Structure 1
């Protein structure tokens, strides 16, 4: 059975969480996805590629995050014959897991209002 147009809109409606820890330290879906990618691939380059991001940009974002916290979020070892790699530190894992919990809590908190707003949209043509 195909979903109705209203069910389709409700499935597509969502919120995006951006956390401003301080003026120069933002954490949002992009940085969270990069951290998640590093967790899953063990590589900054691979995590960046998954997002269509250059290695230089990925490294810049990680360097910025690492500099903002008491402890780095990601550690990396250089490539070469043995290959390089990157991994989340315990602090990095705590930051990513905390962000994911906030995302879930925010989505749950606004689900009713989001559903209501969705019903006010024009039908899709």
Structure 2
């Protein structure tokens, strides 16, 4: 019998989920596309759901991760703040460490009788 260590990482606050794979992808899409609507469409999310995720992240960190600009003549848009960019980097660093932990755990389980 082969045992496998498995898991996913996410970051929470006392209020609930803060960052996970989906929210990080949303932040990355906002940074890439410059628009919450385009990011939501690319991820097959409703605009409202994407808005709620961004609103929760902005409120739970105490520092906005995304700045929203209202539509109008130039169409508005969305952009990542330096804190938003840092959140993406932090999540990827933590995820890399977590994946390395899983590899180490799997190797240890191979030694198990």
Normalised by the shorter chain, which TM-score bucket?
Answer: 0.7 to 0.9
8 Å CA contact retained: 2:15, 2:60: no
CA distance in 2, matches of 1:23, 1:67: 10
CA distance in 2, matches of 1:29, 1:20: 12
The residue that corresponds to 1:104 in the other structure is 96
Q: 2:83 matched to 1:83?
A: no
Runs of 4+ more than 3 Å apart = 112-117
Q: Greater CA radius of gyration, 1 or 2?
A: 1
Q: 2:82 matched to 1:93?
A: no
Q: Pick closer, same or farther for the CA change 1:71–1:26 going to 2, 3 Å.
A: closer
Q: Secondary structure at the match of 2:63?
A: coil
CA distance in 2, matches of 1:67, 1:20: 13
CA distance in 1, matches of 2:15, 2:108: 33
Q: Pick closer, same or farther for the CA change 1:41–1:114 going to 2, 3 Å.
A: farther
Give CA-to-partner distance per residue, 1:58-109, whole Å, 9 cap, x none.
Answer: 0011011111122211001112221211111111111111111101111122
**TM score, norm. by length of structure 2:** 0.80
**TM score, norm. by length of structure 1:** 0.73
Q: Which moved more, 1:73-82 or 1:22-31?
A: 22-31
Structure 1 unaligned blocks of 5 or more: 1-12, 118-125
8 Å CA contact retained: 1:18, 1:29: yes
- Over aligned residue pairs, what C-alpha RMSD do you find? 2.2
Higher relative contact order (CA closer than 8 Å, sequence separation 6+): 2
